[in-house]
Structure 1
Amino acid sequence: MHIQKKTTLLVALLVVLGALVLWFSMKPAATKPSAAGAVPVKVVSVVEKDVPRFASGIGTVLSLHSVVIRPQVDGILTKLAVKEGQLVKKGDLLATIDDRSIRASLDQARAQLGESQAQLAVAQVNLKRYKALSVDDGVSKQTYDQQQALVNQLKATAQGNQAAIDSAQVQLSYTQIRSPVTGRVGIRNVDEGNFLRTSDAEGLFTVTQIDPIAVEFSLPQQMLPTLQRLIAAPDQALVKAYIGADGATGELLGEGRLSLIDNQVNTSTGTLRAKAEFDNAAQRLWPGQLVTLKIQTAIDKAALVVPPTVVQRGLEQPFVYRVVGDKVESVPVEMVYQDSDQHIIKGVNAGDQLVSDGQSRLKPGTSIQVLGDPPAVAKAGQAKP
C-alpha cells in the first residue's frame, strides 16, 4: 500500500513537471523593454544626387497643320482616292472632280489663240510690205500706221487668248485635289457623285498633321523670366506630356522641347501661353487631347534630398531632427526646392540620419528608439484576407 502511494505521487510529479515544461516551451519570449522614456521613430538617410526641377501645367494638343479640303471649282465629285483615317503625304491625290467642261474651255481658248496667231502672222507680213513701199511713197503713211495698229491689236488678242489658256489650265488643275500637308485624313462629309460648290463651307474632309505635333499650355506670369531663359538657352528645355491631371501618376505620352512663348500676357488671367513640339511617330498625342506637362526648368547638381515628411515648420525657419547616438538634435535647414515627392535642403550632410516619422513627441535631446519596417513575411500575411 505504501509502495502504491509512492508510485501515485511520482506519477503526479511527472505530470506536473511535463506540464511546466510544456508551458515554458510555448510561452512567448519576453520583449526586451525599450529604454525608459525612449520615443519610437522612423529615420531616413540624406541622399546626395542630381535633381531636375520641373514646372507643371495643363495643355491642349494641337496639330501644326490642319487643313479643311474644299473644292476650288464647281463640279461632280467623280472619285475619292483616299479612305478615312488614311495617312497621306504632301502632294498625294485625294479626290477628282469632273473636268470635261474645263477641258472644253481649254480647247476653245487654244483654238482662239491659233486663230489670233494666224491673223497676226498675216498682219506682220503686210506691215513689212507697207514699210518697204512707204519709202518710195508706194502707200500712204496713214495706211502704214493703220497696219501697225492692227498688228498691235492682234498681239494683244493673242496675249488674251494665252491668258485664257493659262486660266483654264489652272482651273483644270483644281479638278485634281491634292493634299497640301502630310497628315491623317479625317471623316469625310461627301460621297462620290455629289455636286460640289466652292461655296460649301463644310468641305470634303480634313487632313491633320500628327507627327510632329504641338502642345499649347499656360503658366503663371511669374514664370516669364524662367521661360525666357529657357528659350534663350542653346539647348531647348525638355518637356514631358502625361495623360491625366497628375503627372506623377499619369502615363507618359511623349517627350518634347519648348519651342516658343507668346508675345503678351493674358491680363484677365495673369497667365502666359507657351508651346512645345513633340515627335509623335507612335501617335500617342492626339489633336484636342488634354495633357499634363512637366517642363524641366533647371538641374540641381549634388543636391541633398529628403522626403517631405522629414522637414518640420518652425516659427522662424524649417528644421529637421538629426539622430546623434540614441538621441536627436534640432537642425535648422534652408529649403532650396520642394515638390510632392521630395525636398532639397541645405544645413545637413549626405548620409545624416533624420527622423521621418514620430516628430510630434520629440524635442532636442530626446532619447529615441529607431523602428524598422515590418518583416516581408508579416506584410504578406497581413495582405491576405
Structure 2
Amino acid sequence: MPRTTPQTPFFHSLQRGKVKPGVLAGVIALLAVAGGGAWWYQQKQAASVDPSTSTAAKPGAQAPGGRGGRGGRMGPGGPGGMAQAQPVSVGVVEQRDMRVLISAIGTMSARATAVVRAKVSGELLKLHFKEGDEVKAGQLLAEIDPRSFAASLAQMQGSLARDQAQLKNAQLDLQRYRELLKQDSIASQQVDTQEALVRQLQGTVAADQGQVDAAKLQLSYTKVTAPISGRLGLRQADLGNVVNPSDANGLVTITQVRPIDAAFSIPEVHVGTLAEQLRAGQTMPVELWDREQKKMLAKGKLNALDNTIDTTTGTVKAKAAFDNADGHLFANQFVNVKLQVRQIDQALVVPANAVQNNYVYLVKPDNTVTQRKITVGVADGDYVSVRGDLQPGDKVVTDGIDRLREGAQVNVVDSDKVKKVDQAVQDAASQPRGAMRNLTPEQREKIAKMSPEERKEFFQKLRAERGAKGGAAGTDGAAATAPAQQEKAGAGDQTKGQQEQGKSAAAAGPAAEQAASARGEPGEGRDDRPQLTPEQRAKLEALSPEERRAFFQKLRAERAARAEGASGADSSSGNNSSNNGAGR
C-alpha cells in the first residue's frame, strides 16, 4: 500500500526546504559533541605544558645572583633585571670653556727646498754627510776631484806673474823716459809710446787676474756645500760616479723643516671671520693631529689665506706655521688640522662617550639610572657641550651603557675595571668549552702560551685527529650514552638537589658570594670552574673581589640567555609534536 503524506501546509514547507527535522537535530548534537571534545583536549594540553614551564622558570628565578626568568632577563637593567647591579663607570657634568674648531685635512710643506747639484764636472771622491741628517748652510757635503782645476789655476797664475813683470818693466822705462824728456834729451813721441805700452800691460794683468779668480772659483766648486739649512734626503750619487751640473736628481735634496708650514682648505663661510681676525693681528691657534686623531703632533698659528676661493669645492686655501723644534714633522706628511675660530665661555659639558643617540644615563643618588634627553653642541677633545636637564656635578654613565635600561641598578666602579670585566667575559665566551674539559694540564699550559691563530689551529688539528679514530669515537659515543642515561634516570634527584642548593645559597646570603668571589670562583657553584681556561683563571686572580663579582654576574646572565633560548626551542618543538599528534 503506498505511503501517504499528510497534505498540510507545514509538511509542504518542509519538503520545499529539503531539510528534515531529525537530520537537523542530529547535526546540532554532533557539533556540540565536537566542540566539547576540542575544549577538553585544549585544557588537557595546557595542563600538561604549564607545570614544565613553571618548573623550568622557577629555578631560574631562584638562581643565585638574581639571574631571573624571562621577565627578569628582559626587564630594566638588562640581564638579571632590577635586582642585578651592572658595573659602570661614570663621568661628571662640568662647566668649562669650549673651543669652536674647524676640522680640515692638511699636508705639510717645507718652508724651502733645494736640490744640491755639482757645479763642475768631475769624479765624486768624498761624501761628508749621512742621509737624513740636519745640516747648516755652508756645511761641506761632498768633494769632487780637484786636480784638473788646480792645474788650470796654476797656469792662470803663471800668466799673471809674467804679465805683471812686463808691466813693471814698462813702468820703469816710462819713468826714465819722462826724466830724459825734462832734460830735452828724448823725443816726446817715445814717451807717449811708452805710456801706451804700460796701459796695455795693465790691461793684460787685469785679464790674467780675472782668469786666476775664475780658476779659483772653479776649484772651490769641487767642495760641495749646503746652500740652506735643513734636513737631508736620500743620496742620489755614489762615490766614484762622474757628476755633472746637468744631473736632474743632483747629489741630495735639502728641505727646510724648522719652521715648517701646513697647507689646508677651509669652507668659504669662515673666510670673512678669519680674514678680519688676521687683519686685526689676532692669533688663531692651530693644532695638528695624526690620522687616527688620537695624538696631537704640534701647535702653531694661522699665517695667511689665499686670495681666491676654489669655486669647485667652495673652499679657500690657508697656511699655518709650526716651529717643529723636535723635528717630528716631515714635508708632504698627512695631518688632521683643527683651527680655533672662537671660544664659548663656561659651557655645560659631558664626556663624549657618555652621549648615545642624544641621550645620557644620569646616575641618581640611589644608584639607579634614568635617561635624559640632551642637545649636543660643539665637541672639543673628549668633551661635548650639551643643553638639557643636567646640572654641574651630576654623574653620567660613560662605560657600560649597552647593558642599561631605564631604572636599572648600577655599581659605580673605575673605568679600567669595567674594561677588564668586559674583556674577561669576551675571552670566556670565545673559548671552546667542551674541548677544554678533555685537555690534559700540559695541553692547557701550552694553549695558554699560544696566540689566537695558533690556538685555533691546535683545536682544528685535535678535532681532525679525534675524527680519524673511528673505534675510539664509537667507544666515546657509548661512554657518552651511559652518563646521559644516568642523568635521565636521576632527573628527579637532580631537581631536588638544585632546589636544596638554591635554598642553601639564599640562606648563606652575601657572605657566601663574597667568599666565592675572593677565591675567584663563580657565585653559583663549582660547575662553572671547568669552563674557564688557565689563562682566564689567571686573569681572575688579578681582579679585585668587586671585579670578580661583576664578571660572574655578567657570565651568569649570558649563560641564562643561552639556556633560555635552548629551553624555548625545546618547548616549541614539544608543542609542534603535540599539535601533530592531535592532528593525527
Q: What is the CA distance between 1:211 and its match in structure 2? A: 3.5
Q: Answer whether contact 1:310 1:354 (CA < 8 A) is retained.
A: no
Equivalent position amino acid for 1:295 in 2: L
Deviation at 1:331, TM superposition (A): 12
Cα deviation code 1:199-246 (max 9, x no counterpart):
1112112223343322211112222223324434556322111111x6
Residue matched to 2:344: 300
Going from structure 1 to structure 2, the CA distance change for 1:142 and 1:340 (only over 3 Å counts) comes to: same
Q: Which of structures 1 and 2 has the larger relative contact order (alpha carbons within 8 angstroms, sep 6+)?
A: 1
Q: CA deviation at 1:79?
A: 1.0
Q: Which amino acid aligns with 1:60?
A: T
2:309 pairs with 1:262: no
Please give the root-mean-square deviation of Cα atoms over the aligned residues, in Å. 4.2
- Mapped to 2, the partners of 1:82 and 1:355 lie a distance apart of 58
Could you report, residue by residue, the CA deviation over 1:254-310 in whole angstroms, capped at 9, with x for unpaired residues? 222223323333344332222222233443322221111111222222223467769
Quote the residue 1:272 is aligned against: 316
1:65 aligns with 2:93: no
Distance 1:297 1:232 in 2: 14
2:130 corresponds in structure 1 to 83
CA contact (8 A) 1:45 1:350 kept: no
- Quick check: 1:266–1:272 contact (8 Å CA) kept in 2? yes
Task: Indicate which of 192, 211, 220 corresponds to 2:239.
Answer: 192
Gap change, CA 1:69 and 1:143, over 3 Å in 2? same
2:295 equivalent among 241, 251, 254? 251
Secondary structure, aligned partner of 1:207: strand
Q: Are positions 1:133 and 2:195 aligned together?
A: no
User: How do 1:303-382 and structure 2 match up within 5 A?
Assistant: 303-305=347-349, 337=378, 344=385, 351=392, 376=413, 380=421
- The 3-state SS of whatever aligns with 1:64 is strand
Normalized per residue, the structure richer in strand is 1
Structure 2 residue identity aligned to 1:288: N
What pairs up with 1:194-233 in 2 under 5 angstroms?
A: 194-232=241-279
Shift of 1:99: 0.7
How far apart in 1 are the matches of 2:356 and 2:134?
51
Query: Is the contact made by 2:233 and 2:252 (CA closer than 8 Å) also made in structure 1?
Result: yes
User: How high is the TM-score relative to the length of structure 1?
Assistant: 0.69
Counterparts of 2:125 and 2:201, CA distance in 1? 40
Larger Rg computed on CA atoms? 2
Q: C-alpha distance in 2, partners of 1:155/1:135?
A: 25
Unpaired runs of 5+ residues, structure 2, are: 1-58, 77-90, 360-371, 398-405, 430-584
Q: Is the CA contact (8 Å cut-off) linking 2:230 and 2:255 kept in structure 1?
A: yes
Matched letter for residue 98 of structure 2? V
CA distance in 1, matches of 2:106, 2:63: 64
Q: Which runs of 5+ in 1 are unaligned?
A: 1-22, 35-43, 313-329, 357-368
Find the aligned partners of 2:265 and 2:409 in 1 and give their Cα distance.
45
- Letter of the 1:296 partner, please give it: Q
8 Å contact kept, 2:268–2:315: yes
Counterpart among 144, 158, 179 of residue 111 in structure 1 = 158
| CA deviation after TM superposition for structure 1 residue 96, in Å | 0.2
Normalising by structure 2, we get a TM-score of 0.48
Q: Deviations over 1:76-107 (max 9, x none)?
A: 11111223233333322111001111111111
Distance 1:171 1:203 in 2: 18
Contact 1:66 1:207 in 2 (8 A): yes
Could you say which structure has the higher helix fraction? 2
Task: Indicate the percent of aligned positions where both proteins have the same amino acid.
Answer: 36
Inter-CA distance 128–268: structure 2 relative to 1 (3 Å threshold): farther
Provide the C-alpha distance between the structure 1 equivalents of 2:113 and 2:342, rounded to a whole number of angstroms.
34
Counterpart CA distance in 1 for 2:320 and 2:161 is: 57
